[in-house]
């Protein structure tokens, strides 16, 4: 649900490279759970942080300001492309009923493969849902968690919003172009429809649950951020997370939309840094 709201940069296809932001970013692939997962890593701090992108998202398209500007001396920041997204192709992406559980296991196992024993999670949209699952399933590994644009269930209202953006040919060319550069015109259209079908399947579960039953298992300090102008995630979703994740807190950004970490990157980064260092 993240991608159609973004302005995106061009997609680079180098599998292994060192590229400068404010400091160098190392990138490559690691074999994890039978697939080669692409990742980027920057910073030299003791506090490891994993960035989890939104639907069809990738490190480059979703987290440029965070890789660039989160404090390198305090944090080691890792971004990744979930299986079937971005540069973690092959395999082709699919959306079985457990795709959030699969992504959560991939994310945690990638961090283990990279040598991190404990780390924090920053999850946006679908990546926020993945973070919720990962934190619930791995309480001993997760230090802290920040989620925004995430939901633990799918309502009929949500389903209506998803179906309204199903047909990418109705999007503006500006909105389509970045994803078409990543996946190609036809693949992007089919993949987006597949995602809509994938997220819609949860509406048939009791209460539309994606991970409602897992929220009480989350024990790490959790910051929920919500943009009050988010057109895709109604306020009831962050309020539900706040109520059901023990000790969590909610921060509202009055001018924030779904991609608040990109539109208001400085404010977002400062908020996250302060929370992670508490």
Question: Residue 124: which H helix or E strand, with range?
Answer: strand 119-124
* Residue 230 a catalytic site member: yes
What CA–CA distance (Å, rounded) separates 272 from 61? 19
DSSP per residue, 21-72: SSSEEEEEEEEETTEEEEEEEEE--SEEEEEE--TT--HHHH-HHHHHHS-T
The angle, 0 to 180 degrees and rounded to 10, between the axes of the packed helices 185-200 and 173-183 is: 100
Identified catalytic residue from 58, 230, 237, 248: 230
Q: Is 58 annotated in the active site?
A: no
- CA-nearest of 96, 100, 155 to 125 is 100
Helices H / strands E in the chain, number of each: 10, 9
Q: Is the peptide bond before 180 cis (omega within 30 degrees of 0)?
A: no
Active site (annotated) includes residue 261: no
- Cross-strand pairs, 148: 124, 225
Q: How far is CA 184 from CA 85, 157, 179, in A?
A: 12, 30, 7
Q: Which of 58, 88, 120, 125 is catalytic?
A: 125
Give the catalytic positions in this structure.
125, 230, 258
């Amino acid at each position: 649900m993240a991608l159609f709201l973004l302005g995106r940069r061009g997609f680079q296809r180098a599998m292994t490279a060192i590229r400068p932001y404010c400091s160098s970013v190392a990138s490559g692939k690691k074999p994890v759970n039978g697939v080669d997962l692409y990742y980027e890593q920057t910073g030299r701090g003791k506090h490891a942080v994993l960035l989890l992108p939104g639907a069809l998202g990738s490190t480059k398209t979703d987290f440029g300001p965070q890789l660039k500007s989160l404090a390198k001396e305090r944090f080691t920041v890792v971004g990744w492309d979930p299986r079937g997204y971005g540069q973690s192709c092959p395999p082709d992406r699919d959306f079985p009923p457990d795709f959030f559980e699969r992504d959560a296991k991939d994310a945690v196992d990638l961090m283990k493969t990279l040598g991190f024993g404990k780390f924090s999670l920053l999850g946006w949209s679908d990546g926020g849902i993945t973070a919720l699952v990962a934190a619930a399933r791995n309480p001993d590994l997760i230090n802290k968690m920040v989620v925004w644009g995430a939901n633990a269930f799918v309502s009929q209202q949500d389903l209506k919003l998803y179906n309204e953006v199903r047909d990418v040919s109705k999007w503006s060319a500006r909105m389509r172009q970045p994803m078409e550069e990543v996946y190609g015109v036809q693949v992007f259209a089919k993949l987006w429809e597949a995602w809509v079908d994938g997220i819609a399947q949860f509406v048939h579960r009791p209460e539309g649950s994606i991970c409602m039953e897992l929220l009480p298992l989350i024990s790490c300090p959790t910051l929920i951020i919500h943009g009050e102008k988010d057109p895709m995630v109604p306020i009831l979703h962050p309020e539900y997370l706040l109520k059901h994740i023990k000790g969590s807190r909610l921060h509202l950004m009055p001018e924030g939309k779904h991609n608040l970490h990109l539109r208001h990157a400085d404010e977002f980064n400062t908020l996250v840094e302060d929370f992670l260092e508490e």
